[in-house]
Amino acid sequence: MSESEQLKTWIEQNGPIESVQAVVCDLNGIMRGKRIPVEQASKVLGGGIRMPLSIVGVDVWGEDIIGSTQVFATGDGDGICEATGRGPLPVSWTSRPSALIPLWLSLEDGRPFLADPRQALAAVVAQYRELGLRPVVATEMEFYLIDPEPDSAMPPISPYTGKRLDSDAILSIDELDDFGEFFSDVYKECARQNVPADAAIAENGIGQFEINLLHTDDPLKAADDSVFFKRIVKGVARKHGLAATFMAKPYGTRSGNGMHVHFSLLNEKGENVFDDGTAEGSPMLKSAVAGLLRGMAETTLLFAPHYNSYRRLRPDTHAPTSISWGYENRTAAIRIPGGNPKARRIEHRVAGADSNPYLVLTAILGAALVGIRNGWKPTAPQTGRAYSAKKQRKIPAEWGQAVDAFESGAIAAEIFAPVLRQMLVACKRQEIAGFAEQVTDYEFSAYLEIV
């Protein structure tokens, strides 16, 4: 069956479909692209769509980067948009029935464009493959449901009680029941898009929830799943008269939204190389941990990419602040969960839910690989409260510090191509300048007549 015939069959099974969204994921994790008539969908799947290479590097507001070297070096040239093999994906929450086809960028000569975040992850996965290793990855995604009407975050009104949520309800079954129709639709849409959604729980914040995505030995699919999951949750929330946010810290005094990443490594026999039969884990696990620790300051920008991200990285907020690791220690940045040694794995707890999953997994797997190749050994594991550990280095607490560390870091340079680092740094510096120009209402009320 030809590609066009397969597409026709898919449309018949999932229709009616009126349009197709042909999209790439930019460095901020935002989908950007074109709306295409459904009749031209086979053209999209066949690599017949072109977009400017600079599209992956625009700022969070969708503005071009002023003085971009990428634009001036190429005359803002186009790249080839190739289907990732995942689409088309049915979209049911738009006003008219549509589908999404995810794409990634290649250069004119067929080489991958390494500033495309999905291509960056593919490059690191290929390096593991050369060593006969296969990463197994799972993510945990936190988000808040909020009232869509106010200009600032406000807890939603329960569809069941008709009352606004007003208290934390960690692991509350009642709160999950209140939004049962929303969660049913989320799981249904995840199934339609082959996103393996697992358990849902009510988290610490008012209207905060977490859904775990099942592990896979395909890191590209794990990142795809996380990106599509965020889009599904936000789309289904709108359908139910709600809004959903993966913003790292929508409420200043409540828990932030994290994206925790679990991973292990399989060898060519399918054996977990982090397992040595003990609770401590193998020397390779410890070398991976050492790489993660040494590269953490340089890669914090990927885990906390936005102005708001740094509100989450505060002591005693269930988010890490020190560059530390430990066994069954949720106050450390790197946690080694207990349980059966056959499932020995690393949990990376730094990333916010506002981050780009492709870049997060690239940074984690890349730093771990550097540690493994060099046979590094980690510092002693942290016992007890990591927030009070005076000897531990700190995760960068300011956005500008993280940008500088990423730009100059040797480990970051080993993981990411120069073109990606240049584009991301330029993007973030433009965003920093944009926020610096804004005077907030809080500043205005504090200083207007006082100073």
Residue-wise pLDDT for 312-335, tens only, equals: 998 887 899 999 999 999 999 999
* 91 and 59 within one domain: yes
132 is a domain residue? yes
Q: Out of 98-112, 192-206, 331-345, pick the least confident.
A: 192-206
Residue 166 has pLDDT above 80, yes or no: no
* 185 and 80 within one domain: no
* 236 and 356 within one domain: yes
Per residue in 267-290, pLDDT (tens digit) is 999 999 999 999 999 999 999 999
Sorting pLDDT into bands at 50, 70 and 90, what band is 167? low
Residue 384 has pLDDT above 90, yes or no: no
* 295 and 152 within one domain: yes
Residue 187 has pLDDT above 90, yes or no: yes
* 141 and 275 within one domain: yes
Q: How many Å apart are CA 160 and CA 322, to the nearest integer?
A: 41
Per residue in 123-134, pLDDT (tens digit) is 999 999 999 999
147 is a domain residue? yes
Would you call 151 helix, strand, or coil by DSSP?
Answer: coil
8 Å CB contact between 235 and 93: yes
Which segments of 304-436 does DSSP mark as H helices, in order? Answer: 309-312, 357-374, 399-408, 410-415, 418-436
Residue 195 has pLDDT above 60, yes or no: yes
* 326 and 195 within one domain: yes
* 297 and 343 within one domain: yes
439 is a domain residue? no
Q: How many Å apart are CA 369 and CA 362, to the nearest integer?
A: 10
430 is a domain residue? no
| Mean pLDDT confidence for 116-122 | 98
**This prediction's pTM:** 0.94
Q: Supply 35's token pair.
A: 């709306």
Query: CATH number for the domain including 330?
Result: 3.30.590.10
Domain stops at, among 92, 113, 134: 113
Residue 3 has pLDDT above 70, yes or no: no
* 141 and 78 within one domain: no
345 is a domain residue? yes
* 165 and 61 within one domain: no
| Mean pLDDT confidence for 170-195 | 83
How many other C-beta atoms lie within 10 A of the C-beta of residue 241? Answer: 13
Beta bridge partners of 213: 139, 197
Structural domains counted in the chain: 2
Per residue in 55-66, pLDDT (tens digit) is 999 999 999 999
Domain stops at, among 87, 113, 139: 113
Residue 353 has pLDDT above 80, yes or no: yes
B/e letters for 314-346, b = 16+ CB within 10 Å, e = fewer, are: eeebbbbbbbbbbeebebbbbbbeeeebeebbb
Question: For residue 256, what pLDDT is reported?
Answer: 94
Question: For residue 199, what pLDDT is reported?
Answer: 83
Strands 98-106 and 19-25: parallel
106 is a domain residue? yes
* 78 and 223 within one domain: no
Longest dimension (CA), the chain: 74
Range of the domain at 135: 125-416
8 Å CB contact between 118 and 40: no
Which segments of 303-393 are extended strands (E)? 325-327, 334-336, 346-348
Per residue in 386-441, pLDDT (tens digit) is 776 666 789 999 999 999 999 999 999 999 999 999 999 999 999 999 999 999 88
Between 86 and 262, residue with greater pLDDT: 262
Domain stops at, among 85, 113, 141: 113
* 168 and 90 within one domain: no
434 is a domain residue? no
* 96 and 15 within one domain: yes
Query: CATH number for the domain including 61?
Result: 3.10.20.70
382 is a domain residue? yes
